[in-house]
């Protein structure tokens, strides 16, 4: 059956439209391809250098524009190693990763950063010719003290020279400072003291007991945490004794305290002896007290209710492995008669001629220094002597007056007989 003229015309028109559609689609696809090849991608901004502490994650950023169908790759510059291409990781290093934001910003991730990761990294676009830019990753390392190259606790004799050493690693290179752990100043000489000393070596010339104690070697480089090592310097010396009061007076029945100050290291053995080097027993009326502070010892001997047998010489003795020494204190009696009285057991006042008979009116002495006599005592004694001279002059004047009266009253011949008896 023949096809009607209207239906054939429709079919022919449909074929022509379909052909035209595919032609337009072809030309559009071809234009998109050509357009994509004609657009030139480029970088929007330079790669910023990154600083990351060791063990943390570092991330470098590369920003591009008009990337189109081109691809971005990350490379390690010094080894020319390809790390990533587009969204794929090429290297076998499991710590490397890549991510992007809308194909514009590309991130290179480096996890658990090591010092070996420090260096230059390249962001590359595969144009022809290739386009690239680089950024630097700096890995900083907190300080760490090297024990094998650092001094340990030291024991030295007083008067020797000492050098303390401290070594540390880190990036950037750390600085070393020395301080005393107790915060006290460091004595570099008799006239110079400082709070800290900088340098890997710390020199002390002719150390003495004031240098003894713990020191801190402190390493820092701006990357937390700051680290330190404690080094104890021990200075050894034989005992030395100071006696605040070498002469002490007391009355019977009083309580008195004898005192000595000893310095020694190693720590000394300290005790008291009497006249014949007999050790003073502990307990009863004698109470030894020792106050220990570092290398210094304050020795006290408390004598309760002093009796006549307690007067005499006492010695405080200090001994250690380097030597021994002692100091003497004389305890003497203050009589309790009417001519004497004591105010506190460590002072006395004398009256009349008794003070001239006393061989010593000093109760306290500081080494070889003795107290001068109280001015009040001296003024009172001078006044008594003036009273004595005045009374003698008065008696002489009275005798002269009586003689004159007798000459006036008696007859001359009687006076001759009295002066020249037969």
Cα–Cα distance between 170 and 176 in angstroms, integer?
12
Residue 11 falls inside a structural domain: no
Does residue 132 sit in the same domain as residue 207? no
Is the whole model's pTM more than 0.75, yes or no?
A: no
Model confidence at 409: pLDDT above 60: no
Token readout for 7 is: 């239906």
Last residue of a domain, one of 113, 140, 167: 140
User: pLDDT tens digits for 57-102?
Assistant: 999 999 999 998 999 999 999 999 999 999 999 999 999 999 999 9
Token readout for 202 is: 């710390």
Lowest-confidence segment of 192-201, 288-297, 356-365 by average pLDDT? 356-365
Residue 315 falls inside a structural domain: yes
Does residue 204 sit in the same domain as residue 154? yes
Phi first, then psi, for residue 110 (nearest 5°) are -125, 110
Residue ranges making up the domain that contains 288 = 243-333
Does residue 274 sit in the same domain as residue 324? yes
Does residue 106 sit in the same domain as residue 67? yes
Does residue 174 sit in the same domain as residue 108? no
Does residue 169 sit in the same domain as residue 193? yes
Residue 368 falls inside a structural domain: no
Instruction: Give the DSSP letter string of 187-250.
Output: ESSSS-EES-EESSEEEESS--GGG-EEEEEEEE-SSSPPEEEEEEEEEEEEEEEE-S-SEEEE
Decide: 301 and 314 in contact? Cβ < 8 Å.
yes
CATH code assigned at 219: 2.60.40.10
Cα–Cα distance between 68 and 51 in angstroms, integer?
32
Last residue of a domain, one of 107, 140, 173: 140
Domains: count for the chain:
3
Residue 296 falls inside a structural domain: yes
Q: Region 143-151: what's the mean pLDDT?
A: 97
Token readout for 81 is: 């190693």
User: pLDDT tens digits for 328-368?
Assistant: 999 999 987 644 333 333 333 322 222 233 333 322 333 33
The H or E element spanning position 394 is helix 375-409
Decide: 145 and 184 in contact? Cβ < 8 Å.
no
pLDDT of 363: 29
Decide: 419 and 413 in contact? Cβ < 8 Å.
no
Q: For the chain, what percent of residues have pLDDT higher than 90?
A: 64
Residue 48 falls inside a structural domain: yes
Residue 417 falls inside a structural domain: no
Instruction: Give the DSSP letter string of 326-362.
Output: EEEEEEEE---STTEE-SSSS--EE-TTHHHH-S---
Does residue 162 sit in the same domain as residue 102? no
User: pLDDT tens digits for 220-250?
Assistant: 999 999 999 999 999 999 999 999 999 999 9
**Taking Cα atoms as reference points, which of 64, 62, 70, 43 lies closest to residue 109?**
62
Cα–Cα distance between 305 and 219 in angstroms, integer?
60
């Amino acid at each position: 059956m023949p096809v009607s003229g209207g239906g054939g015309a429709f079919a022919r028109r449909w074929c022509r439209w379909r052909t035209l559609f595919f032609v337009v689609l072809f030309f559009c696809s071809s234009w998109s391809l050509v357009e994509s090849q004609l657009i030139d991608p480029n970088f929007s901004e330079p790669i910023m250098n990154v600083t990351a502490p060791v063990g943390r994650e570092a991330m470098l950023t590369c920003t591009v524009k008009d990337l189109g169908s081109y691809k971005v790759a990350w490379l390690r510059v010094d080894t020319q190693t390809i790390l990533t291409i587009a969204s794929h990781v090429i290297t076998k290093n499991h710590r490397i990763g890549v991510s992007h934001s809308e194909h514009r910003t590309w991130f290179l991730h480096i996890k658990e950063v090591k010092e070996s990761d420090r260096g230059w990294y390249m962001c590359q676009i595969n144009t022809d010719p290739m386009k690239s830019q680089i950024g630097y990753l700096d890995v900083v390392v907190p300080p760490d003290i090297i024990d094998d190259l650092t001094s340990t606790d030291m024991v030295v004799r007083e008067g020797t020279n000492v050098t303390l050493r401290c070594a540390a690693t880190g990036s950037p290179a750390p600085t070393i400072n020395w301080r005393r752990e107790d915060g006290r100043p460091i004595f570099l000489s008799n006239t110079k003291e400082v709070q800290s000393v900088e340098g890997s070596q710390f020199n002390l010339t002719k150390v003495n007991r004031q240098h003894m104690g713990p020191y801190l070697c402190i390493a820092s480089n701006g990357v937390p945490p700051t680290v330190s090592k404690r080094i104890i310097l021990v200075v050894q010396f034989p005992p030395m004794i100071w006696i605040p009061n070498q002469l002490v007076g007391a009355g019977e029945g009083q309580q008195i305290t004898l005192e000595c100050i000893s310095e020694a290291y190693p720590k000394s053995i300290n005790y008291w002896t009497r006249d014949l080097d007999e050790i003073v027993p502990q307990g009863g009326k004698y109470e030894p007290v020792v106050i220990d502070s570092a290398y210094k010892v304050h020795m006290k001997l408390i004598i309760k209710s002093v009796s006549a047998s307690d007067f005499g010489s006492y010695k405080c003795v200090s001994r250690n492995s380097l030597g021994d020494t002692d100091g003497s204190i004389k305890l003497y009696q203050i009589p309790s008669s009417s001519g004497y009285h004591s105010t506190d057991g460590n002072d006395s006042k004398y009256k009349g001629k008794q003070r001239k008979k006393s061989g010593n009116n000093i109760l306290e002495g500081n080494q070889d220094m003795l107290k001068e006599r109280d001015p009040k005592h001296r003024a009172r004694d001078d006044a008594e002597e003036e009273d004595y001279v005045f009374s003698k002059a008065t008696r002489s004047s009275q005798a002269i007056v009586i003689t004159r009266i007798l000459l006036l009253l008696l007859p001359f011949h009687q006076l001759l007989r009295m002066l020249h008896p037969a």
